[in-house]
Amino acid sequence: MKQIPYSFDLNQPDFIPSTYDNHIKRHLSAMKGQYLDQQAFDAMMNDDPLLYEVYELQRPTVEGELLHGISIVHPGKVGNEFNMTKGHFHEVLDTGEIYYCLKGHGYMVMETPEGEWAVEVLYPGRVLYVLPRWAHRSVNISLQEDLITFFVYPGDAGHDYGTIEQQGFRKLIIDKDGEPAIVDNPRWGVSETA
Amino acid sequence: MKQIPYSFDLNQPDFIPSTYDNHIKRHLSAMKGQYLDQQAFDAMMNDDPLLYEVYELQRPTVEGELLHGISIVHPGKVGNEFNMTKGHFHEVLDTGEIYYCLKGHGYMVMETPEGEWAVEVLYPGRVLYVLPRWAHRSVNISLQEDLITFFVYPGDAGHDYGTIEQQGFRKLIIDKDGEPAIVDNPRWGVSETA
């Protein structure tokens, strides 16, 4: 664990700093119940492709620290839904998160426990502030290149993946005749893991 | 105050997002006692030049929020010391800050109450994590262009400018034959405002 301030480069093309010591890989099998097209999902499970990766530096998970890392969502679709992250609320719900887009083209799909939803676009140079209370999921709407973002969140925020695993997001991002479209999730709120 | 997540562009050449609603300007007169060369300081006070600017979005200053903004240190010197920010500890000392450099070339000068010090370099694409407890000051070591950084810190961190106004930083950044050099501050700890 570093005891003095540290700096590192985010360089093209992959933007992965060698400083980072935690590498998380999420394959399709981690996304059970999240994609609408179950047949397409099952057909792809033989290969269990890598959908996204996260690089982080391990720091104390306490208030006052800022956890930061790189998220890489690879291009692709499951059925007509674009590749995406699991998405999560923060365990400490009243904590926000800042994203800075480094590469690619994406949507951030967000919602609150109270039923509000929002979708914001991501492309290089764009900053997004996910307000406290908002669950968030990155979606890569390019079929050619990675969506790469740098993120910062409070050290004590934690991750609540379970709520989204159970109920999904209210909105899905699908490829509609070559354009990304925001549509209602017909299975929202239905237990996905039952 | 925005109630839903928001995004905005950081675009060349000035990177100032129109979203930001708080604009702070710091002139030389705000830096009394911080530059070593008092004669040079006094001579420049007729013009009282603008040294740096900060743009922020106003958010609740509470735990869980992430305050973020743009810092612009204009190029120049006072005597042989490069233009710099006032620098500060956080009022809640155990809170960190993330910087992402967008433009220019700079140093971040840092120190703890316990006497440690560090200097990290900033240039486009470089991320710096100022650990909790570390006071920090941006120094523009280019005499041609602005040093522009994007910063993120916890909503409840607050600013303690007074300690630095009183004692200064342990290290100064001077122009030594056209190169930036880190030197001891001979007046460190001496009350600057007495």
User: Does the residue B57 lie in any domain?
Assistant: yes
Whether residue B192 has pLDDT greater than 80 = no
Q: Which H, E and C letters describe chain A, residue by residue?
A: CCCCCEEEECCCCCCCCCCCCEEEEEEHHHHCCCCCCHHHHHHHCCCCCEEEEEEECCCCCCCCCEEEEEEEECCCEECCEECECCCEECCCCCCCEEEEEEECCEEEEEECCCCCEEEEEECCCEEEEECCCCEEEEEECCCCCCEEEEEEEECCCCCECHHHHHHCCCEEEEEECCEEEEEECCCCCCCCCC
The predicted-structure confidence for B19-72, as pLDDT tens digits, reads as follows 999 999 999 999 999 999 999 999 999 999 999 999 999 999 999 999 999 999
User: Does the residue A9 lie in any domain?
Assistant: no
Q: Which residues constitute the domain of residue A153? A: 22-184
User: Does the residue B61 lie in any domain?
Assistant: yes
The predicted-structure confidence for B91-144, as pLDDT tens digits, reads as follows 999 999 999 999 999 999 999 999 999 999 999 999 999 999 999 999 999 999
Report chain B residues whose CB lies below 8 A from the CB of A68.
98, 127, 129
Task: Report the CATH number that the domain containing residue A144 is assigned in CATH.
Answer: 2.60.120.10
The predicted-structure confidence for B137-182, as pLDDT tens digits, reads as follows 999 999 999 999 999 999 999 999 999 999 999 999 999 999 999 9
pLDDT of residue A2: 81
Q: Name the band, by pLDDT with cuts 50, 70 and 90, for residue B191.
A: low
Chain B, 8-27: which have a CB under 8 Å from a chain A CB?
A: 8-11, 17
What is the per-residue burial (b if ≥16 Cβ within 10 Å, else e) of B152-187?
A: bbbbbbeeeeeebbebbbbbbbbeeeeebeeeebee
User: Does the residue B171 lie in any domain?
Assistant: yes
User: Does the residue B150 lie in any domain?
Assistant: yes
pTM: 0.96
Instruction: Specify burial of residue B189 (Cβ count, 10 A radius: 0-12, 13-18, 19+).
Output: exposed
Nearest CA of chain A to the CA of B52: how many Å? 22
Report chain A residues whose CB lies below 8 A from the CB of B94.
63-64
User: Does the residue A15 lie in any domain?
Assistant: no
Chain B, 144-173: which have a CB under 8 Å from a chain A CB?
A: 150, 152-154, 157
pLDDT of residue B194: 43
Least CB-CB distance to B7: which of A11, A127, A132? A127
B121 - beta bridge partners?
B107
Tens-of-pLDDT digits for all 194 residues of chain A?
788 999 999 988 999 998 999 999 999 999 999 999 999 999 999 999 999 999 999 999 999 999 999 999 999 999 999 999 999 999 999 999 999 999 999 999 999 999 999 999 999 999 999 999 999 999 999 999 999 999 999 999 999 999 999 999 999 999 999 999 999 999 998 765 54
Q: Which residues contact B138 (CB under 8 A, 6 or more apart)?
A: B52, B71, B73, B84, B85, B87, B99, B106, B107, B108, B122, B147, B149
User: Does the residue B194 lie in any domain?
Assistant: no
Report chain B residues whose CB lies below 8 A from the CB of A170.
none
Cα separation, B111 vs B169, in Å, equals 7
pLDDT of residue A71: 98
Report chain A residues whose CB lies below 8 A from the CB of B66.
96-98, 129, 152-154
Contact B152 A66 (CB under 8 A): yes
Instruction: Output the six-digit token pair for B25.
Output: 């300007």
User: Does the residue B123 lie in any domain?
Assistant: yes
Placement of tokens 């880190």 in the chain: B182
Please report, as a single letter, which amino acid is at residue A44: M
DSSP-derived letter for residue B42 is H
Least CB-CB distance to A5: which of B68, B134, B153? B134
pLDDT of residue A194: 43
Instruction: Output the six-digit token pair for B69.
Output: 């903004």
Report chain B residues whose CB lies below 8 A from the CB of A66.
96-98, 129, 152-154
**B87 within 8 A of B31, measured Cβ to Cβ:** no
pLDDT of residue A18: 87
Q: What is the largest CA-CA distance in chain B?
A: 52
For chain A, the domain total comes to 1
Least CB-CB distance to A4: which of B64, B131, B154? B131
